[in-house]
Chains A and B, each alone.
Chain A
Amino acid sequence: MEGRSGLTLLLTVMALSSLHLRSCHSSSDLQILTADRRIDLASHIIRVALVLKVQNDGASPASNVLLTFPPTQAKHLALLQAAEVTGKKKKKTLHTLDAKPSDQADGPNGAKFFSISLRNPLSTGGSVSIEVSYILTQSLEPFPVEISQSEPQLVLFRDSSSILSPYPIKQQTTVIRTPSTRVESFTRVEPSSQLRTELKYGPYENKPAFSYTPILVHFENNNPFAVVEELVREIEISHWGNLQITEHYTLVHNGARHKGGFSRVEYQSRPALSGVSSFKHLVAKLPPRVHSVYYRDSIGNISTSHLRTSYSKSELEIEPRYPLLGGWKATFIIGYGLPLKDVLFEADDGKRYLNFSFGCPIAETVVNKITNKVVLPEGSKNPSVVVPFSVERRAETKYSYLDIVGRPVVVLEKENVVPEHNSLFQVYYEFHPMFMLAEPLMLTSVFFFFFVAALAYVHMDISIRK
């Protein structure tokens, strides 16, 4: 184990030393005075908070600040948010800044740039404080790859002790928080220390641009690595007063794979020692006033769930049919109804709009691909969507209960979704209430004609012989 990780480390160092030589690449003359980075490894979703103090040493004002991520991290970057901090500690105010992938060519070794647009261009000699938070998914690598039922789950986390940046950094520290004190090993880059659940790297002084010192943290993380490979949510609006949500999950335990046999008895009798990294139950946070909640899969109802409703929220605690050990999969469906008046409103221009949450309601899960299908009532027109982040949008038509022209469906797709994406989105559309009567009228007329036909038949004599 040690030998292999040591070898990879060596290779990375060699690769990056060549990077050092070419670090004159830096485009503008910004420099970072202080950088504080806190990496939270408590769950399998890695949350990083980065506080930068940027100063402009160049001649011209700078309007953008670049952030750099190694290609592996850029791939797993789920969310990136930036805010400018003004005022001192007590009166601190945050102004959200726009952060998006930069169109600049990749940096050394394929490093990806993201650019943050400042509110006001930074004049020469001026400085600004920026708080960046970003979320990485699937960046913890289980090691050993396979564990048996009685073993805890150990994972590896790779990063750099110094912050990768296109600008030189005068002073920086990195704090890594682990879920427990049980850390098998971590790369020492002096000065570095461990204090209970925190590993501290730094402070490092005067690191040039693009400096990168790989580190490896090997620690115990028994949090369930709940990954929803695919989530399809169907949100169906009925103007008769109900919103029906059906969510199809493909859930997988993405941690260390299970090896050997599984003993249910042992699992149940000694929960503290057996299958610690598995997940027994998941909690889905549903809106208040849900009704007709069901939890099933393709072969019927799953009887292990509890629903707790309160004023402000409902909590659905679900257990898969079997405990999910590493690498195991399960599929299931959660469905529920909501009173329509809680989520459907009328805009000023007469349009109606649905105001509903986007992401996966299950706590602390990563969704590889989410598909939200908003099924509008038959006869609605001109749907438009407002989502706070970029999504792919398609249109479909769905036929349900006696439809003739079909219901327009707005399909919104997004990959790599974390709980932070659980914000509200809106779908605007035009709808005339007359369409509500179409189906009742249709049924009435069918019965009417049936009775007329029966009447006619009774009064007709179609026999050939009298």
Chain B
Amino acid sequence: MAVPVDTVTKQPQPPPPSPSSLRFAFGNVLAFFILLLIGVLAFSIRLFSVIKYESVIHEFDPYFNYRVTQFLTKNGIYDFWNWFDDRTWYPLGRVIGGTVYPGLTLTAGTIWKVLQSLNIPLSVETVCVFTAPVFSAFAAWATYLLTKEVKGTGAGLTAAVLLAMVPSYISRSVAGSYDNEAVAIFALIFTFYLYIKTLNTGSLFYATLNSLSYFYMVCSWGGYTFIINLIPMHVLLCIVTGRYSSRLYIAYAPLVVLGTLLAALVPVVGFNAVMTSEHFASFLVFIVIHVVALAYYIKGILSPKMFKVAATLVVSVGLVVCLAVVGVLVAVVASSPTKGWSGRSLSLLDPTYASKYIPIIASVSEHQPPTWPSYFMDLNVLAFLVPAGIIACFSPLSDASSFVILYLVMSVYFSGVMVRLMLVLAPAACIMSGIALSEAFEVFTRSIKFYISSLSEFLETDAGDVMPGSNGSPQFDVLKTEKKEDSLKERPSRKNKKKEKDVVVVKEKSSVKSKTEKRPLVLPAEVSFFALFLTVLLGAFYVVHSVWAAAEAYSAPSIVLTSHSHDGLHVFDDFREAYAWLSHNTEVDDKVASWWDYGYQTTAMANRTVIVDNNTWNNTHIATVGTAMSSPEKAGWEIFNSLDVKYVLVVFGGLVGYPSDDINKFLWMVRIGGGVFPHIKEPDYLRDGQYRIDSQATPTMLNSLMYKLSYFRYGVYTT
């Protein structure tokens, strides 16, 4: 209570709303600095990989993105659009410009260009490595904006700080993880923020920005279909629950029109933006919202009686038309080969689809459904806070909070289908948990404040001079709690102010009335203190877990392996050894055959032509390589020779004990090969249904090219 008095005396110039405006300004500055620190936190927590390992591109897909970025910075944007890459999918090649989501590449390329024009000589690689951490900071800020629109600044800051270090997002955005998701999550959250902002303000300006942000999302990641399905769902929800407003119309209609037009500009999407069924929901809702808008308009100009008559007429005619439209739609969908749905999208709706029909999708570990521990690993305490957040969102339910709830529910479903979509769930969980934590803090601190104010009031009314010690200690507590909550969020401090005002009012008026006003939200002080302590502890657990996850679990670049043994750290750099050898000691035009896992890395690090790569767009071609690997030596050689292959890259970990080598993946090669070439039969490679590579292995297995390459002269070394 000492603080506001000070501020009142200190400011002489602006006369009327002096204490509140100054506190407001102070709160804004504080929020700004907290946001800045959140950005720093989000960036720096992702640098473990650079500090523990090195500044290097990670894993598989990032190498492809890095290579594309190199091409872009070297040859310019026009060559990039027209780039036909003859280094992969030999002899087919691949049109990179038309089959790649260019958002990430263009972003990093632009950053590099800007730096270059300022004469800051950062290499393309460095820019690529640090793009993800930078965009994580942006994503944290976007989360702040989104949550602020839903539940205010305090919740926004809490959600931002949670997102800055949510392990699920860290796993995809550590320094070096130069993948689409790194920028796409920012774009996703920012698009949602602009949607909510438009919904709250009804401003066309934000609606336009929303379309542009959606365009950036479409450029960045195939996950944009999540947005273009989620927003229509929310609009439909609003309409069904009778929440239609002109703001909703402004938020939705421009997005569909502008967004679809812009999306069609991206070569990889093109006419898919209007032709595939992933987008149909948005058009359907577009029609619905117009019908509803018309209905509201007519309702406005007709008398209630007339409207009733008109409604029955329109509904009966409309039903017929709708049926016809639905019939046409179904016919269109049914006539396209995969029923208008791409394989990945189908596996979203039917989790068992991929494993049943597309072995190539099923063979990727990140396309598997997640296990329960992975929820705990990736979300940690957020998983428990989310329900509380949902409850908080229902009181009161607004357009914005209903959207967040819908987002959460949908993303929970999708994360259950495919482990890598956990990434989409993470922001929703952070927002919900942020709201929950912020609400909890608000309630606890408010009750403590109330307790203290009633205490001081009691003391004042009771006697003028009591022991100074007992008077001083609660005040000290107030300051302490104030500090604590200020560091976490800013909103409660405004609440405090309101509270303090109330306290002044209380002093003047009867105390009974104020107590009845406050009672529903006030807890006993001891409980509040304890709960506050527990909540802080919960937060601390989350921080500890996140830092551990960032440092230990998610920063390994996977091209360098390390192992700790009794005589120190061992570094296995065999992948790069092989790629470097290929790059320096083979002819530039030599073809290298390997399983598709190593395709991107071979083209990027060794700069040699590969037969198949991680893009996996041509199942037959992959099956050809799988067949060659599963065939006997002579047949395998013939296949490879027909593909002009000069080198075969095989990863074998049998000698040093590296488990994820090619012989371990071999059964997938058999399955994928057998899917196209029926003479490869999986049972031939299994002994009584068991996958064996020892003396019990079947003759087909022992004679397969992969087995022979892996165990070439193995006996000489082990005996």
Tell me the A residues contacting B by CB distance below 8 Å.
Answer: 263, 265-266, 269, 297, 299-304, 321-322, 327-331, 399-404
**B560 with A303: CB separation less than 8 A:** yes
Tell me the B residues contacting A by CB distance below 8 Å.
Answer: 54-56, 118-121, 559-560, 571, 573, 576-577, 579-581, 584-585, 605, 655, 713, 717
Q: Closest CB of chain A to B64's CB: distance in Å?
A: 14
* Residues in B whose Cβ lies below 8 Å from that of A269: 717
With A265-B717, A299-B579, A300-B56 as known contacts, state yes or no: A328 contacts B120, CB within 8 Å. no
With A303-B560, A400-B119, A401-B121 as known contacts, state yes or no: A297 contacts B56, CB within 8 Å. no
* Residues in B whose Cβ lies below 8 Å from that of A303: 560, 571, 573
**A402 with B560: CB separation less than 8 A:** no
What residue in chain A is nearest B717 (Cβ atoms)? A265
* Residues in A whose Cβ lies below 8 Å from that of B121: 399-401
Q: Complex formed: what's the CA distance from A399 to B118 in Å?
A: 9
What residue in chain B is nearest A402 (Cβ atoms)? B119
Return the contact of A402 from the options B120, B576, B713 (Cβ within 8 A): B120
Q: Complex formed: what's the CA distance from A265 to B576 in Å?
A: 18
**A403 with B584: CB separation less than 8 A:** no
With A263-B713, A328-B585 as known contacts, state yes or no: A300 contacts B576, CB within 8 Å. yes
**A321 with B573: CB separation less than 8 A:** yes
With A303-B560, A400-B121 as known contacts, state yes or no: A321 contacts B581, CB within 8 Å. yes
Q: Closest CB of chain B to A245's CB: distance in Å?
A: 16
Q: Closest CB of chain B to A54's CB: distance in Å?
A: 49
What residue in chain B is nearest A299 (Cβ atoms)? B605
Contacts A322-B580, A329-B584 known; list 5 others, CB within 8 Å. Answer: A299-B56, A321-B580, A327-B585, A330-B584, A401-B119
* Residues in A whose Cβ lies below 8 Å from that of B54: 300-301
Q: Complex formed: what's the CA distance from A321 to B572 in Å?
A: 11
Q: Complex formed: what's the CA distance from A399 to B121 in Å?
A: 8
* Residues in A whose Cβ lies below 8 Å from that of B559: 300
With A299-B580, A321-B580, A322-B577 as known contacts, state yes or no: A329 contacts B560, CB within 8 Å. no
Q: Complex formed: what's the CA distance from A454 to B121 in Å?
A: 29
What residue in chain A is nearest B570 (Cβ atoms)? A303
What residue in chain B is nearest A332 (Cβ atoms)? B580
SS of A interface (majority): loop
SS of B interface (majority): loop
* Residues in B whose Cβ lies below 8 Å from that of A265: 655, 717
Q: Closest CB of chain A to B15's CB: distance in Å?
A: 19
**A401 with B580: CB separation less than 8 A:** no
Q: Complex formed: what's the CA distance from A119 to B498 in Å?
A: 101
A-B contact pairs, 23 of them (CB 8 A): A263-B713, A265-B655, A269-B717, A299-B605, A300-B559, A300-B576, A301-B54, A303-B560, A303-B571, A304-B573, A321-B573, A321-B580, A321-B581, A322-B577, A328-B584, A328-B585, A329-B584, A330-B584, A331-B584, A400-B121, A401-B119, A401-B120, A402-B120
What residue in chain A is nearest B574 (Cβ atoms)? A264
Q: Complex formed: what's the CA distance from A195 to B54 in Å?
A: 54
Q: Closest CB of chain B to A408's CB: distance in Å?
A: 15
* Residues in B whose Cβ lies below 8 Å from that of A301: 54, 56
**B119 with A297: CB separation less than 8 A:** no
What residue in chain A is nearest B584 (Cβ atoms)? A329
Q: Complex formed: what's the CA distance from A328 to B579 in Å?
A: 14
Q: Closest CB of chain A to B606's CB: distance in Å?
A: 9
* Residues in A whose Cβ lies below 8 Å from that of B717: 265-266, 269
**B119 with A321: CB separation less than 8 A:** no
Q: Complex formed: what's the CA distance from A321 to B573 in Å?
A: 8
With A300-B54, A329-B585, A330-B584 as known contacts, state yes or no: A321 contacts B120, CB within 8 Å. no
**A321 with B585: CB separation less than 8 A:** no
Q: Complex formed: what's the CA distance from A402 to B116 in Å?
A: 9
Q: Complex formed: what's the CA distance from A266 to B576 in Å?
A: 20
Return the contact of B581 from the options A322, A327, A400 (Cβ within 8 A): A322
**A399 with B576: CB separation less than 8 A:** no
With A328-B585, A329-B584 as known contacts, state yes or no: A321 contacts B118, CB within 8 Å. no
- Of A266, A300, A322, most buried by chain B (CB within 10 Å of CB) is A300
**B585 with A403: CB separation less than 8 A:** no
**B56 with A330: CB separation less than 8 A:** no
What residue in chain A is nearest B123 (Cβ atoms)? A298
Q: Complex formed: what's the CA distance from A265 to B714 in Å?
A: 10
What residue in chain A is nearest B585 (Cβ atoms)? A328
* Residues in B whose Cβ lies below 8 Å from that of A403: 119
What residue in chain B is nearest A400 (Cβ atoms)? B121
